Structure 1
Amino acid sequence: MLEVISAFSYAFVTALVLSIAISKFMRRPNVDSIPSVGPGGLLTSYWAAVKFIFYAREMLQEGYTKHKGMAFKIPGLFCWNIFLSGPKLVEELRRAPEDHISARERISDILKPRYTIGHTIIHNPYHIPIILTQLTRNLPAQFPDILDEIQASFDDHLQLNGYEWTSVPAFETIVQVVCRTSNRVFVGLPLCNCINLSSPKLISIRPDWNDLTSGFALSVVKVAITIDFFPNFMAPLVNRLLSNLPKSVQRGMKHLRPIIEERQKCLDEYGSGWEDKPNDMLSWLMDEAQGEERSAESLTKRMLSINLGAIHVCRRYHLSSSVILFTDLLLLLFTGDDIYWFYTCIVLFGCSSSVHQSTTRRSRSHCRGRRLVKSCISEDADSFLKETLRFDGLTFISMLRKAVKDFTFSDGTFVPAGCTVSVASMPIHRDSDIYKNADIFDPFRFSNEEQEGEQAWHQMASTHPGYLPFGHRRSACPGRFFTAIELKTMLAHVVVTYDVKFRDGQRPANVTFGPANSPDMKAKILFRKRVV
C-alpha cells in the first residue's frame, strides 16, 4: 500500500511540474525571427535550457560567432533568453527606456525583493545615487580607514602562528574581510568590529553585525533561488517557510536603532552639518531619507540590502561582488605560475624577479612598505586588475534586462514583452577584433600608449561597449569605484605581508553554473607571515 502511495506521489509531482513547464512554454512570446542556439521545440528547448546550465560558455560563443553584431536567443526553462552582441546593440540597450527594457524588473525577478529584502528597496532606490556620488567622492577621505580595517581584519581572521603555514578557506575569509571593511565605511567604528565579551575570540573574528549582514546576504540568495522553482501562487508560502527577513531586521535594529536615534536628535537640533557628524553611509542615507524611510526599521532594511550588494554573490544568477572578485584574483595569483606573480610585483611596486622564489623573498622584502598607498592609485595596477576581469571574467553575460513592453532595435530585432535581454560579454572580451591578442593575458593592455586616446581607459571601474564586467554607463554598478579601491588595497596588503600558496600547488578549477564562472567556494589556501 505504501509503495502504491509513494508511486502515486511521484507521478503527481512529475505531472504537476510538467504541466507548469508546458503552461509557461505555451505562454512564451513568439521570437521566431531571432536566430537560435540549440533546439527550440516544445520538448527539445528544455534540453537546450538544461545544456545551457553546463555549457553556457560554449553556447554563447557559438551564438556570437554565428551572429556577431546581431541578437540571438537561447531557451530558458520558463522564458526565452535573448543575447546581444556588437557595440551598436550594446549602446542601444544602454539607452533603452526603463519603462520598456528594465534593469529593475530583471533584478526583481532574480532577488524576489517582495519576499527577501522588501519591495521599496528596488522601487525606491534612493541609495543608488548616494553610492554613486557620496561614497565615490568620499573615497580619498575614507582610504585610511579602509586600509586600517583591511590590515586588522586579515590579522584577526588568519590567526597566524609565527611563521608557520596556516590553512584557511579562501572564500569565507574574504567574505569576512570585505564585510568588515565595507561596514567600516557604512556604519563605522565600533559596530564594524565590536567585541562580544561572552565570546571574545569568536566575535573578534565575526562581530554580530558582520555575522548578521553576511548571513542575511546568503539567506536572500537561497530564498530567491528556492522561490524561483515554484509557481507564483506558492511564493508567499515558500517565503513564510524559509525567509528570515523579519528576524534579521529586528536583530539589525538592536544594533542600529540607538545609533539612528542619537544621530536623528543631532539632525533635528543642529541640521545636516552638525559638528562631529560621522562621515559614513548611514549618515548619508539619513540625510536623504524621506517620510517612512526615516524610520529605524526602513534604514535597517536599507543597510542590510546595501551589504547584500557589497558582500555576496548569487552564483546561479551571475551577480558578483568584491568578495567573489578578490577570491578569484587571490586564487589566480598563487597558482604557482611565475607570470602572474611577476606581473603583480611589477604593477604594484615597480620591482621584478626572474624566478618565483627570489620574488617571494628578496624583491618583496625590498618592496615592503614602498608605494603601498601609491600602488592603489597606479594606472598599471588598474590595468592589471581590469585585464584580469577581461581575461578571466566571473560572468559570461552582462547588462541584465527584462522587456516590460515590446521593443524593437534599430536593426529590426523585435523583443516581445516578457523576454529577458542581456549582452554576451564573454565573447566580446575575447574578440580579436576588439582586443589585440585577445587570448593572451596582458597586464598593461589598458595603460599602454595605444589606448591613451580613451578617457580613463586604464581604470578598472571605467566602462566601454567592449568592456562590460560592471555594465555600461548610467546602468553600470554604482559601487564599482569602491570595489576597485577595496580590491587594490587588499591585493597590495596581501602581497607585502604574507606568503601564500596552495597545499598541492594547483588552483582548484572554477565552478560554472549557467553564465556564472566563479572560483571554488571550498578552496583552501595556506598563509604565513612573509619570510624576509
Structure 2
Amino acid sequence: MDASDPQTVCAAVVVALVVYGLFRWSPDPLRHIPTVGGPTASLLSFVSTSQWRNNARDLIMEGYQKYPGSIFKIAAYDRWIVVVNGTSLIEDLRKRPDDEVSFLDSVEENLSLKHTVGRGAAENPYHLNFVREKLSRAIPALIPDFVTEFACAFADYVPTKGSEWTTVAAFPFMQKAVARATTNVFVGQPLCRDEEYLRLAIIYTNSITDDRDIMKHVPGSLLKSIVATVTSATWRTNREVYPFLKPLIDERRKNMAEFGDDWTDKPTDLLQWLIEEAPVQRQTDMQIVERIMDLHFAAIHTSSTTSTHVLYYLATEPEWVETLRAEIEPIVAAEGWTKNAIAKMWKLDSIFRESQRVNGISVVSLTRLAMKDVTLADGTFIPKGTNLAASSFGTHFDDGILPGAASFDPFRWARMREASEAEATKHQFVNTSPEYIPFGHGRHACPGRFFASNELKVLIAYILLHYDFKLAGGATTRPENLYIDDSVVPNPTVEVMFRKRESTLE
C-alpha cells in the first residue's frame, strides 16, 4: 500500500472504521432496542445524528406511534438516547431510586457541566432545597416586586410614546424582563438593575447550551476538560460575575458578624441563604457564585422561553387577549397584585399549561442516566451508562390521553377546573402527572415551577393590562418554533410591537 496516496489512506481508514464498528456492534447491549431515525449499527449511527439535530420532534412522534407503550432509541451526536413511551413506563422511570437512574447525573452529562463549571451542584444540590422550600414560601411577598421590576423593564426597554407603536425583538426582551425580576429575588438591588450584571446573567444562560454544542464534538473526558478551559464561555462568565457578587458577600458576612440575630433588615434572598449555608457545606465564595449562576440559567432559560411562547399566541389571537383581560382586570381591581389574585386567574393559568403541553422546553422529559444495570418494568434490559428519557411530545399529543390533543385550546384546562371542583388542582399549570410532564414528574419535578409560574403569570397579566401588542410587519400567524436537538425554542428573531393602553391599574 502506498501510504503517500491520500485515496489509499482514506480507504484504509474507512475499512478500519467499518471493522471497528462491526466489532463494537456485535456485543452492543442496546442492540435489542429498536432504532428510530437511522441504522442500528454503532458505526453507522452517525447517519442519524443530523436527524436528531434538526428533526427531533418528528423522530419522537415516529417512535411513539411505532412502539406504543414500549421503548426505542435515537442516536444523538455523542450517545444513544433510549426513550420510553406510555404512562406505565413513565411511572416506572419516576419511581426508580437515584442510585439506579439519576436525574442530576443525566443533566450534568448532557450539558458537560463538570468540564465547564464543575460537578459540585450535581454531587451536592443543597441549593435546590432553598428553591423548593424557602423560595416557594416567599412567593406572596414577591408578587408586588415582580410588578415593580416588570414596570421598570418596560420603561427601560420598551419606551413607548403616547399612542405610537414601539417595536422590540420579543425573545431578547423577555430574557431581560425575566432576568431583572429573577435577579431581584436572587441577589436583590442594585444588581437587579445593573445592566452589565444582567448582560452576564443572560450570557451565562446562553453559554450553557453553546458549551454543550462544543463539548459533544470533543471525545474523552480529559480532552473535554482541556478544551473547556480555552473555549468555555460558561467558565469565563462565572469569573466575570465574581467581582459583582464578592463585595455583596463580604458586606453581608460583616453585618452577620456585627449584628447577629439583631440584624433587622437582613435580606431574605437566595444569596443570603447560600452565604449562611456555606460554612456547613464548606463552600467557597466562588462556589456560591457558581450556584447563583446555575439558578440564573434554570430560571432565565425556561421562563423567558415559556413566556415568549405565550406572547406569540396572544399577539395573533385578539379574542384570547380580550378574554384574559376580562378575567384579569376585575380581579386586580378588587384584590391588587397578590398571590391569591393570581391564583384566581384560571384562564391565564390555562393558557400557560396548554402552551407548555404543546411547546414545552424539550421534546423529552424525565431524563435519567443509568447508574447501574437495570431492567425496566416491561423486561427491557438497560445497561449502566445509558441515557434514558420519556417522550413528552408523544404523551402530550396522544388523543387517547387528551381528546383533541392535536389542537391548541387555550382555555381547556380552565373549563376542566370549572367542571369538577374536586379535580381543579389536577388541571393547574404547575401540576404534574404521568400524562403531563413538561416539568418532569415525581421527586425530581422542577422545584422552581411554583415560583416561575407566579412570575410568568404576573408578567403576561401586566402586559395584557398595560399594553396592546401585535407581531411586527403585519404578520397574523404564530411564528413557528425552532427545534434544535431536543430543545424547543420560540423563534428568537421575531419582533413584537407594543403600544401603551389606558389603564388605572398599577
Return the letter of the residue paired with 1:34: I
Q: What residue number does 1:328 align with?
A: 309
Q: What residue number does 1:30 align with?
A: 29
Q: Matched residues in 2 for 1:91 and 1:125: separation?
A: 24
Q: Matched residues in 2 for 1:128 and 1:244: separation?
A: 24
Offset from partner CA, 1:195-240 (integer Å, 9 cap, x none): xxxxxxxxxxxx2211221112222322222011111242123112
Q: What residue number does 1:398 align with?
A: 365
Unaligned runs of 5+ in 1: 195-206, 313-320, 351-366
Instruction: List aligned pairs for 1:13-412, cutoff 5 A.
Output: 22=21, 26=25, 29-38=28-37, 39-42=39-42, 44-194=44-194, 207-232=195-220, 233-244=222-233, 247-271=236-260, 274-290=263-279, 293-312=282-301, 321-335=302-316, 337-349=317-329, 373=337, 376-378=342-344, 379-412=346-379
463, 476, 480: which is aligned to 2:449? 480
Q: Alignment partner of 1:40: what SS?
A: coil
Q: Matched residues in 2 for 1:15 and 1:161: separation?
A: 65
- From the superposition, tell whether residues 346 and 263 of structure 1 become closer, same or farther in structure 2 (CA, over 3 Å): same
Return the letter of the residue paired with 1:33: H
Q: Alignment partner of 1:54: what SS?
A: helix
Q: Alignment partner of 2:377: what SS?
A: coil
Q: What residue number does 1:198 align with?
A: none
How far off its partner does 1:526 sit? 1.2
How far off its partner does 1:290 sit? 2.8
- From the superposition, tell whether residues 164 and 20 of structure 1 become closer, same or farther in structure 2 (CA, over 3 Å): farther
Return the letter of the residue paired with 2:205: A
Q: Matched residues in 2 for 1:274 and 1:32: separation?
A: 62
How far off its partner does 1:252 sit? 2.4
How far off its partner does 1:346 sit? 4.5
Q: Matched residues in 2 for 1:182 and 1:472: separation?
A: 24
Return the letter of the residue paired with 1:512: Y
Q: Matched residues in 1 for 2:273 and 2:20: separation?
A: 46
- For the 8 Å contact 1:217–1:307, the answer to whether it is kept is yes
Q: Matched residues in 1 for 2:27 and 2:341: separation?
A: 51
Return the letter of the residue paired with 1:523: V
Return the letter of the residue paired with 2:486: P
Return the letter of the residue paired with 2:294: S
Q: Alignment partner of 1:237: what SS?
A: helix
Higher mean C-alpha deviation, range 247-256 or range 154-163: 247-256
394, 409, 413: which is aligned to 1:427? 394
How far off its partner does 1:97 sit? 1.5
- From the superposition, tell whether residues 54 and 225 of structure 1 become closer, same or farther in structure 2 (CA, over 3 Å): closer
Q: What residue number does 2:501 align with?
A: 530
Q: What residue number does 2:475 align with?
A: 505
CA RMSD of aligned residues (A): 3.1
Q: Alignment partner of 1:155: what SS?
A: helix
- For the 8 Å contact 2:31–2:40, the answer to whether it is kept is no
Higher mean C-alpha deviation, range 185-194 or range 77-86: 77-86
- From the superposition, tell whether residues 80 and 236 of structure 1 become closer, same or farther in structure 2 (CA, over 3 Å): closer
Q: Matched residues in 2 for 1:510 and 1:522: separation?
A: 11
Offset from partner CA, 1:101-132 (integer Å, 9 cap, x none): 11111111122222322221221211111101
Offset from partner CA, 1:438-496 (integer Å, 9 cap, x none): 22333333332455443722321111111111100211111111110111001011111
Q: Matched residues in 1 for 2:371 and 2:30: separation?
A: 15
TM-score when scaled to structure 2? Answer: 0.88
Q: Alignment partner of 1:300: what SS?
A: helix
Q: Matched residues in 2 for 1:16 and 1:213: separation?
A: 48
Unaligned runs of 5+ in 2: none
Q: Matched residues in 1 for 2:228 and 2:179: separation?
A: 26
How far off its partner does 1:497 sit? 1.1
- From the superposition, tell whether residues 368 and 288 of structure 1 become closer, same or farther in structure 2 (CA, over 3 Å): closer
Q: Alignment partner of 1:436: what SS?
A: coil
Return the letter of the residue paired with 1:118: G
Percentage identity across paired residues of the two chains: 31
TM-score when scaled to structure 1? Answer: 0.84
Q: Matched residues in 2 for 1:107 and 1:184: separation?
A: 26
Aligned length: 489
